[in-house]
Every structure is written in C-alpha cells, then in structure tokens.
Amino acid sequence: LHNVPELGDIINLKKIVSPFSKMSEDIDPEDWGVIATACAKELNAGRAVILSHGTDTLHYTSAALSFMIKKLTKPVAVIGSQRSSDRGSSDAGMNIICAAHAAIGKIAGVNVCMHGNMSDDYCLLIRGTRARKMHTSRRDAFRPINDLPLAKIWPDGKTEVLSSHVPVAEGKAEVDTRFQSKIALVKVFPGSDPGVLDYYLDNGYKGFVVEGTGLGHVPTKTKKPWTSRIKSIVSSGIPVVITSQTLYGRINPHVYSNLRELYHEAKAIPGEDMFAEVAYVKLGIALGHLKKMEDIRTFMKTNLVGEINPRSLPETFLY
C-alpha cells in the first residue's frame, strides 16, 4: 500500500503471505504444491488471491496452480514485473492495480494479469494454462497462446470480457498437489540423436514431452530415427507426449506418413494445441495420479482447465 496507495481504494488487503522467497528460475515442482496449498487456504477463508511471482517461470506456476486448485471460490490473479519497481518504466504498479480489479471480479480460475501493451493503457487477463512469456524484457511480454485473453482490464476498473470463462464456484476450494517431477522436456532438431532419451530413462524418468517440428514431427527416415525409439519407450509403459516448437497451431497426427507412423504405430500422445511447458506440467499431474497408459492418454487429450481448445481460431494467432 505504501508503494501503490491506489490499492486501498480497490481492495481490502487482509493478509500478506510469503511461503518462501526465491528467484523464479530456481522454482521446482515441490514449490508449486506449497503455493497451491497457501492459495487454497486463503480462498477458503473467503479471500481472493493476488500472487506475485518472478516472470521467468511464471507461466509454469500458473499452469500448475490451474491443475492443482479445484473449485475456486474466488479469483487467483498471478502477476509479475518485467521492470523493477525502482525504475520509472516499471510495470509493477499497474499490474497489481489491474490484478486487484480482477481479484474482486467474477472471472474465476488461476489467471495471469500483466501489461497488454508497452504503454500503461490496460492489462490482459490470460488463462493460467495459456499464458507464456514471449519476450525477455518488454512490459507486454505475456501473451495468450492459441487462445484469446479472458479480458482487458484498465487501471480504473473498466473490464472488457473477451472470452468465455468459468464463474466463481460455491463451497470450498480443493487442492491436490500430487505431481511426478521425473518428466523430461526434450527438443528435437536436425541431426538430433534419440539416444539422449536413454540418459533420462537410466536416471528413472517416468515420462517425456518432446518438442517436435511443425505439425508434430520428429526425425523418422534418418540414420538415427526417433520414431522407433519412442515406440520402444511407450511399449515399456512410459508415455511420450509430442508438442510443436511453433507454439501456435496444433498437433495433427493424420497429415503425413511420418506423423501416422509416430502416432498410430509408435503410440506417441499428440499434445493437441498445448505448448510444451503446459504439456510438461499436465503430464506431471497425470503421472502423479495415474498408472495405466490408456488412462494417461485420455487424461492428456481431455480439456480440464482450458489448456486444450477443440478448434484453432484464426484471431488467436499473435494476439
């Protein structure tokens, strides 16, 4: 309130909780459970939550909380700052002001609230499973991927709803923090060797998210084909989810013969229109709860908290 006195005119700040303090690049999956539990406690005390987080891994955390916290009775607005508060160009003040308006609003869920453009005009409220940091330093670095923002929020409280959303729930918020952290996120590239997967297998990893190219390709007709190695891994009971390095668009397992070999014969799981970081978090959630491959496959292909859209809308590209 000392730095942003306008907050006192918007919300009644009841409590400041600091579960821990660390740089966001040092966050690990165990921390997500701590944050989710702390958020649920405040929600069940009748309070909305504004969560301040470093921007580097903010989108991992917003995705994890989206899956871990159920039946949100109040909004959880996740904010960060691309420019520190001691700089004249800081975005911190407006981000928290807009998040305060989001916190007293009717749009439920875990959502990211950050600058919508480089000026101090408005913030975008973005679904927690769709927000991604797309620039190292711009104030409007966080954009919705394969989705529209939920809303634009101005510092004066004006709100323009842009997308369908879940209303706040009745009763008590629930939290389930079970997560399998032994998930590897691997990128293919020209000349890449699938033998890298063996390193993770030898170290007890339980699942893979592979960032393929284009529609979800991996090297197939090469001296070191990925498809046969993936088939062997899946046959051993370890799931392999494929996403695309393009970020926008969706995996399509039916277009080319190499795709059909990967998804129909090798039994890789198409990541639909999720980007890799969200697929990583979701697979960790899946393996924290499920053992059977078909159950894991169904879980990964089912939309739970807005992470999968049934079809790709042209207006979501580069929003």
Equal fold, 5-175 vs 183-301: yes
What pLDDT is attached to residue 242?
A: 98
Q: Which residue, among 35, 42, 23, 22, has the nearest Cα to 61 in the 3D structure?
A: 35
Reported as a pLDDT band with limits 50, 70 and 90, residue 2 is low
Q: Which residue, among 57, 5, 103, has the nearest Cα to 123 in the 3D structure?
A: 103
Following CA atoms 255, 300, 52, 135 in sequence, which dihedral angle do they give, to the nearest 10 degrees?
-10
- Answer yes or no: is pLDDT of 60 > 90: yes
User: What does the pLDDT look like over 152-176, one tens digit per residue?
Assistant: 999 999 999 999 887 788 889 999 9
What pLDDT is attached to residue 72?
A: 92
- Write down the domain spans for the chain: 5-175, 183-301
Contacts of 158 (CB under 8 A, 6+ apart): none
Average pLDDT over residues 299-308: 98
Reported as a pLDDT band with limits 50, 70 and 90, residue 90 is confident
The answer to whether domain 5-175 has CATH 3.40.50.1170 is yes
């390709």: which residue's tokens? 217
What percent of the chain has pLDDT above 70? Answer: 99
The answer to whether domain 183-301 has CATH 3.30.420.40 is no
- Answer yes or no: is pLDDT of 1 > 90: no
Average pLDDT over residues 92-114: 95
- Answer yes or no: is pLDDT of 87 > 80: no
- Answer yes or no: is pLDDT of 88 > 70: no
Average pLDDT over residues 217-223: 95
- Answer yes or no: is pLDDT of 202 > 70: yes
Give me the helix-helix angle, 58-68 and 276-289, nearest 10°. 40
Average confidence score pLDDT of the chain: 95
Reported as a pLDDT band with limits 50, 70 and 90, residue 14 is confident
In the chain, % helix, strand, coil (3-state, to 5) comes to 30, 20, 50
What pLDDT is attached to residue 84?
A: 79
What percent of the chain has pLDDT above 90? Answer: 88
- Answer yes or no: is pLDDT of 83 > 90: no
What pLDDT is attached to residue 211?
A: 98
